[in-house]
């Protein structure tokens, strides 16, 4: 069982880091102000406002910001500004034993996927495929905040994960399996294949989502995942949205689910509101969940934070 980070309470301190691509200071400051208006204290990393082209700072600098947040006893949650590119570059510079001894809530999606899964693997820490700093703004739907705080600020268990009203979960292949959840953004997840940080999907529930990719490229990504044995090994599959993904050769993302994923025969659920979509369900990476496509439910079976 993975380590549950301490619960997030009103008035706690959150740490802000930029681990991938940069963002303009005006946007960052507006999002920080929103967090402060919610009642949180904020600590900002040294390289949050830095920019070196498509990454914010060197891998060592970005990694040092993250490590300082884990080492800061006042920080209860760590929120990256955004994903973008380059998050995988920092992984070799992290001290996973220190992180293991100082568990904290860490959240994000997109390229943060690679970090979430690596922290689960090497630090034995439950992480959260959920909001980035960019999402802390007035236009974010209440559903997204409700999901985030249900996972990080309550001990409710078991807890069924529900899509927003009017967006049904879809059972595509029947089955009833239990396992720890891994995965996230498909492109970023593939970054680990063939490296020492490759995610072992054996007995796991594999969660996938994607954005802004033509269906032909998603087909290539899924084929890579299949050839790498990640589908053979997993217990079941959850397919999230492919937001703003274009048709290619007359085929859509939904066609890929029907024609590529369903024939694999693994228990399969699709249409999960997550990641890059407007609605963002919080998926706890490393937590034990039950995927039941007979009754169309996805249930987290343990608290995802501790009361300490």
Question: Domain ranges in the chain?
Answer: 13-140, 159-300
Q: Is 110 a catalytic residue?
A: yes
**Cα–Cα–Cα angle for 48, 109, 128, nearest 5°?**
100
Candidate CATH numbers 3.40.50.970, 3.50.50.60, 3.30.420.10, 3.40.50.10740; the one for domain 13-140: 3.40.50.10740
Give 289's contacts (C-beta < 8 A, 6+ positions apart).
161, 178, 179, 180, 181, 205, 298, 299, 300, 301
Give residue for tokens 């949650």: 77
Domain 13-140 and domain 159-300, same fold? Reply is no
pLDDT of residue 308: 81
Q: Is 129 a catalytic residue?
A: no
Assess whether pLDDT exceeds 90 at residue 1.
no
Look at the domain 159-300 and name its fold: Glucose Oxidase; domain 1 (3.50.30)
Tell me the C-alpha distance between 129 and 123, whole Å.
Answer: 16
Catalytic annotation, pick one of 21, 64, 110, 274: 110
Q: For 122-148, how does the pLDDT look when each residue is reduced to its tens digit (9 = 90+)?
A: 999 999 999 999 999 999 999 999 999
- Distances in Å between the Cα of 4 and the Cα atoms of 11, 36, 193 are 20, 25, 26
Tell me the C-alpha distance between 179 and 291, whole Å.
Answer: 8
Catalytic annotation, pick one of 129, 210, 274, 276: 276
Catalytic annotation, pick one of 21, 64, 129, 209: 209
Residue 258, token pair as written in the block: 């029907």
Q: For 195-252, how does the pLDDT look when each residue is reduced to its tens digit (9 = 90+)?
A: 988 999 999 999 999 999 999 999 999 999 999 999 999 999 999 999 999 999 999 9
Tell me the C-alpha distance between 269 and 247, whole Å.
Answer: 22
Residue 292 is classified by DSSP as E
What's the pTM? 0.97
């Amino acid at each position: 069982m993975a380590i549950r980070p301490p619960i997030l309470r009103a008035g706690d301190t959150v740490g802000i880091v930029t681990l991938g691509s940069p963002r303009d200071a005006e946007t960052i400051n507006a999002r920080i102000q929103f967090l402060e208006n919610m009642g949180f204290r904020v600590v900002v990393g040294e390289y949050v406002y830095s920019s070196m082209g498509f990454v914010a700072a060197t891998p060592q600098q970005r990694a040092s910001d993250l490590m300082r947040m884990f080492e800061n006893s006042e920080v209860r949650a760590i929120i990256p500004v955004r994903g973008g590119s380059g998050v995988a570059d920092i992984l070799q510079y992290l001290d996973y034993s220190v992180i293991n001894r100082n568990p904290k809530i860490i959240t994000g999606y997109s390229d943060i996927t690679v970090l979430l899964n690596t922290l689960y693997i090497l630090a034995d820490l439950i992480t959260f495929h959920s909001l980035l700093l960019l999402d802390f703004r007035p236009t974010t739907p209440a559903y997204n905040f409700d999901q985030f705080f249900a996972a990080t600020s309550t001990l409710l268990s078991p807890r069924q994960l529900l899509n927003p009203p009017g967006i049904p979960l879809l059972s595509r292949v029947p089955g009833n399996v239990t396992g720890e959840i891994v995965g996230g953004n498909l492109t970023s997840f593939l970054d680990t294949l063939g490296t020492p940080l490759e995610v072992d999907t054996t007995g796991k529930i594999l969660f996938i989502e994607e954005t802004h990719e033509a269906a032909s490229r998603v087909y290539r990504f899924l084929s890579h995942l299949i050839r790498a044995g990640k589908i053979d090994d997993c217990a079941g599959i959850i397919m999230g949205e492919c937001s703003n993904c274009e048709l290619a050769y007359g085929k859509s993302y939904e066609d890929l689910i029907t024609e590529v994923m369903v024939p694999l025969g693994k228990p399969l659920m699709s249409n999960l509101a997550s990641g890059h979509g407007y609605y963002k369900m919080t998926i706890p990476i490393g937590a034990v969940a039950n995927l039941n496509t007979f009754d169309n439910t996805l249930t987290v079976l343990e608290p995802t934070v501790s009361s300490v």
